[in-house]
Amino acid sequence: MSEHDYWKIFPRMPREVMIGDITIRDGFQHLEKFISTRAKIFYLEELIFAGCRNIEVTNLGNPFLMPQFSDADELFKHLRSDRFKERCAKKGIPYDQIVLTAITIREPAVDRAIRMREQGIGPDRVLMMVSTEEEHHFANSGCTLPEYWAECERAIRKCKDAGIKMCGTVSTIWGSPIGGATRLEDAVEFTKRWLSIGADDIEHADHDGSASAAQVYRYFSMILDAIPDPAVHLAHFHETKRVGSASVLAALQAGIRNFEATLGGMGGQPANFLDDCPVPGTGEYYYDDPRFVGLMCLEDMLVQVDEMGIRHGYDVDRILWLGRQMEKTVGHRLRSEAIINGRTLKEGHREYARPGLAKRKSKNGETPDQKLPAGWGPQAVLPAHLRP
């Protein structure tokens, strides 16, 4: 007989996950509309109060290129303020368990993070990124891979001296929107390179939705064979073909327990237009239709893992409420299905019941829990040719 216990079939699959939120950074960077500092603070606070413990706050790169993040200092000042710490304490949230991350693609941004740290408002963790496909890497960083690796090594040394953790991202694992097909083996080697130069953890990124479930399972199985500690690894999926939830499931089955997502599935390449003005961003968009760009949706991912019985630490209903507020903030429909259809409730939706069932069963002489005719046996008997 087949094994029916999911965790016996996939013994590496976790019973508990950490889902970090990157809405305020990755989600907002793609918008061609400036989100007010007050709104950013509201969502940062509410996500933390709803259970998020790993949150990306902003991008510390040049605000001329990405003016969405011109308020980076203000956001960190608020999150480091005594007032916010007191609010966390009142809600029973241990402040020292919250990890605040900033994106620092280039070394000057790392230097900025260190200066902020010295002022008492800096991030706990920063992130730099390599792509295994060099054209994509050059489009994001303006560097060749060899010169960027050297820059990362210098930056990691600086971060360690300043008490800041470094996340090394490996991108284009399952394909590049510019260069096409890539090799999984290259991404495994790049992961080892990051760790060998001192990175604290690794974000494994599908930045354009190229991943398929089978290849996700294969890759993360390769990764955990090579580097078995699941605490080191974090999965980052984009949703362009509506198969992202399958990738999440495949990563779970392989043994990955750390993930990222955004409210409404927002995110993607930095905007090159903001409000009424063109801005540099990272240049021309490498997609044709913005409706099919974005990350895994936090609301839907939470419902998925929650209904699998996997612990996650979030107030799911609060996150669904936040998702509905976010649609008002950005001014258009986002990608969450869960904020409309809700969760699968064990008690059902009694308000949709058709009246008269109990009366009809009584009239027929049926007991309230009877589901089969009275003369039928306790178990079905299959035809001989269909029996196992």
The CATH number for 202's domain is 3.20.20.70
In a domain, 366, yes or no: no
pLDDT on residue 358: 94
Q: Alpha helices of the chain — where are they, by DSSP H?
A: 6-9, 28-29, 37-49, 72-79, 82-90, 107-118, 134-141, 145-162, 184-196, 213-226, 244-254, 298-307, 316-330, 338-341, 357-363
Q: How many Cα atoms within 13 Å fall on the side-chain side of residue 127?
A: 24
Residue 311 sits in which domain range?
6-341
Residue of 250, 186, 196, 262 whose CA lies nearest to 218 = 250
DSSP classification of residue 282: T
Retrieve residue 145's tokens: 């891979």
DSSP classification of residue 99: E
pLDDT on residue 345: 78
Mapped onto helix, strand or coil, the DSSP state of residue 213 is helix
Retrieve residue 323's tokens: 């998702």
In a domain, 358, yes or no: no
Judge whether 279 and 319 are in contact, CB under 8 Å: no
Judge whether 358 and 343 are in contact, CB under 8 Å: no
- Which sign does the torsion angle of CA 46, 94, 99, 109 carry? positive
pLDDT on residue 1: 66
Retrieve residue 334's tokens: 């986002």
Residues forming beta bridges with residue 129, ordered by sequence position: 169
Burial degree of 335 (CB within 10 A; 0-12, 13-18, 19+): buried
Helix axis angle for 244-254 and 213-226, nearest 10°, is 30
Residue of 104, 148, 151 whose CA lies nearest to 123 = 104
- Contacts with 132 (C-beta within 8 Å, 6 or more apart), sequence order: 170, 171, 172, 173, 176, 182, 183, 186, 187, 190
In a domain, 372, yes or no: no
pLDDT averaged over every residue in the chain:
95
pLDDT on residue 2: 80
In a domain, 361, yes or no: no
Residue of 21, 122, 111 whose CA lies nearest to 61 = 111
The owner of tokens 């919250």 is 98
DSSP classification of residue 129: E
Report the alpha-carbon distance of residue 206 to residue 317 in Å, rounded: 28
User: Considering its fold, how many domains does the chain have in total?
Assistant: 1
Distances (CA, A) of 34 to 29, 41, 74, 251, 275: 9, 14, 15, 34, 6
Judge whether 274 and 71 are in contact, CB under 8 Å: no
**CB atoms near residue 311 (< 10 Å):** 12
In a domain, 134, yes or no: yes
In a domain, 357, yes or no: no
Say what the pTM is: 0.93
Rounded to 10 degrees, the C-alpha dihedral 361/365/368/374 comes to -110
Mapped onto helix, strand or coil, the DSSP state of residue 191 is helix
In a domain, 196, yes or no: yes
Beta strands 273-274 and 277-278 are: antiparallel
- Residue 236 backbone phi and psi in degrees, to 5: -130, 110
In a domain, 373, yes or no: no
Task: Report residues of the chain scoring pLDDT below 70.
Answer: 1
For 353, left (φ over 0), alpha (ψ -120 to 50), or beta? beta
